[in-house]
Chains A and B, each alone.
Chain A
């Protein structure tokens, strides 16, 4: 084995275990010594991509393309770097070129599907995803991209089936779990979605977007709970304070609404996975609720003391309550 071949093997091993910075260092030395080695430039682009240095990755990929224009790998790398840099048309073009060069290579179709999906060109994305799936039915990535395309097309049942298939092939595939969470958020509800997002975060703790998704779901549930209870309480107090003629009926009715909404909220929170509990700032809950309820008390007071100004007071209260509820939800969550 020559020294260059040995260094390339070392770099591949480093990339295999995600040591991108170390691989980039080794490959930078290598391309300095062997500037016409397209494989080294490709690996360097891959290392920079992994390390999040997209500009450098693009430069290395372009160099590889110029050295080996008939090889599909540099074009795929160029597409991936363009996608990260937000140059979507160029990403689609590079992936298309890779497909032209190697139509039997599933990774080329995967690249094209990803780029076309980013461009919202769902027909091309769907075709490319189907090709990838056909060429590599045992690769979870091919099913994940198919699920993403189906979800973008609004076909949630198909999207769910694709993601479940991917998870059958690779049970801890974090991207598939995350996608399934997104689908559940639109269909089954927050608790199920949160469970999938938590699983994704567990599988890949280094990816911050999964934790952000968990937080989005939890914030959504908490906001909904505070809205429900605030509106019911406001109406209840208003009717009581304003001495409404049908007071007893309204009080019973609104009391029931408040109770039911409270029960729903409790059930929703209880169904959430236990891992989300540390996300709540329990010590701040009472303070946050007090802030959320302050406008309600103000409205009740306004209604009782100055009945003529009741409408402006209600409008003001509604606006203040909206802001306060958001603030309360944020304060309660980490």
Chain B
């Protein structure tokens, strides 16, 4: 029991440290459920569903919880105005669903005699969830209709980005620099040839976490009409558990076969960390392999555009930033006022809100990242939800909820700017971080 408690404590700390890690939170919820801590488990499930509304595991947990014996009554909403008819049997304890009973929309199993809602479009619902859940049965040798011919492409998720730079609200300076440094030469091959401008090298975006670097990368792919291949930190780690060099070679091979393609290396500091910091780790040889692949891309491959993002450009091996590799950098700063307004709009879009002054909120959140704003919206929703539970009737999320949340949620970028300040002061060799230094001076942080 004590061991279980310590495991739960560890998991809670881990979830606190990484609130966006849905699998971890799911695991915690499962553990809490099996430990009988249902209230806390339900809270965790709620948090999972806020981040990933279609999460099948969370929905299953919720269904199990609702029908588990001895369910804690503490967090249940008060009874509705109309009590259930006395002749109806109480909900049965036991498994969440029976094989022959389709669950109702509230997750409760249907009982014989219940009327099916004829207006519900089952085929549409199936198509909506078809990509969330794998098929129940597969026939050996029958390929998935969506599968590409290239098995490696399936492993690395090649997609077509529908985003454009116009979809990125605000951030005018970033867009202008992106246009000048990257997009204009790509879009004008004739002029490029006339001026002898080569397509060698990629663009490294850097800036504080949660400020839209990945979003911008997708928009760039959309602008170029190219396919988009994103390699995240988790993919990178998986690559190094096994045959890292071969995996890396395969990744670049897939990008070449899918040209025109934007190959986006997210958190590139994980993949290309300074080799002096990688003593005795398997990642060291991978940096060399990455350098080889980059040189190969720049010398012989048309149509593979390299983008990378990092929160810690100072940890990226300097060899990766030499001409012909990631030789152009772009600082992506915390969202400006129009961008913050758009982020608020996005996160409140599917929530019950009333009387929200977005411009005022955007003014109040100067220095907050996009992720911080998402957290503010979540905190406001939580306040409204708890109030609704307390009052017994749902209420809308209002401006006071959001403003109170702004007061509660502190900007998370402080530690990043502390390090950035040191970099701008002491490591700005060759003016590599002049734009960062200029921003810090403008904000009186330097």
Contact = CB atoms under 8 A, between A and B. Distances in A.
B37 to A, nearest CB: 14
Contact of A51 (B9, B17, B21, B418): B17
A165 interface: no
B422 A29 contact: no
Nearest to A5: B241
A202 B419 CA distance: 10
B7 A53 contact: no
Nearest to A171: B276
Contacts of B60: none
Contact of A24 (B3, B17, B281, B419): B17
Interface string A23-39: 01100110110010000
Contacts of A18: 277, 315
B341 interface: no
Given A13-B282, A13-B283, A208-B418, A25 B14 contact: yes
A211 B270 contact: no
Contacts of B283: 13, 16-17
A29 B14 CA distance: 9
Interface residues of A, number: 42
Contacts of A19: 233, 270
Contacts of A10: 237-238, 241
B6 A63 contact: yes
Nearest to B8: A32
A211 B419 CA distance: 10
Nearest to B10: A28
A25 B6 CA distance: 14
Contacts, number: 112
Interface stretch (B92-100, B354-362, B423-431): B423-431
Nearest to A51: B17
B426 A13 contact: no
Output the residue of B7, B269, B273, B429 with the most chain A CB within 10 A. Answer: B7
Contacts of B237: 10, 13-14
Contacts of A170: 276
A6 B18 contact: no
A6 B241 contact: yes
Nearest to A15: B281
A9 B422 contact: no
A174 to B, nearest CB: 11
A14 B241 CA distance: 11
B182 interface: no
Contacts of B11: 28-29, 32
Contact of B425 (A14, A32, A206, A275): A275
A280 to B, nearest CB: 12
Nearest to B422: A205
Given A13-B282, A172-B276, A211-B422, A28 B314 contact: no
Given A19-B233, A198-B426, A278-B425, A28 B276 contact: no
A1 B278 CA distance: 24
A19 B233 CA distance: 10
B276 A16 contact: no
Nearest to B427: A202
A281 to B, nearest CB: 10
B156 interface: no
Contacts of B3: 35
A60 B240 contact: no
A80 to B, nearest CB: 18
Interface string A141-173: 000000000000000000000000000001010
A21 interface: yes
A32 B7 contact: yes
Contact of A22 (B9, B18, B277, B314): B18
A29 B13 CA distance: 12
Contacts of B282: 13, 16
B426 A31 contact: no
A17 B273 contact: yes
A88 to B, nearest CB: 25
A35 B7 CA distance: 8
Contacts of A205: 314, 419-420, 422-423, 426-427
B31 interface: yes
Interface in B77-118: none
A53 B13 contact: yes
B281 A21 contact: no
Interface string B25-44: 00100010000000000000
B52 to A, nearest CB: 16
Interface in A28-63: 28-29, 31-32, 35, 44, 51, 53, 56, 59-60, 63
Nearest first, the 8 closest Cβ-Cβ pairs linking A and B are A16-B281, A205-B422, A28-B14, A202-B427, A201-B426, A9-B241, A202-B426, A25-B14
Interface of B: 3, 6-7, 9-11, 13-15, 17-18, 21, 23-24, 27, 31, 233, 237-238, 240-242, 269-270, 273, 276-278, 281-283, 314-315, 418-427, 429, 446
11 contacts: A10-B237, A18-B315, A21-B17, A28-B7, A29-B27, A201-B422, A201-B426, A205-B422, A205-B423, A214-B426, A275-B426
Interface of A: 1, 6, 9-10, 12-14, 16-19, 21-22, 24-25, 28-29, 31-32, 35, 44, 51, 53, 56, 59-60, 63, 170, 172, 198, 201-202, 205-206, 208, 210-211, 214, 275, 278-279, 334
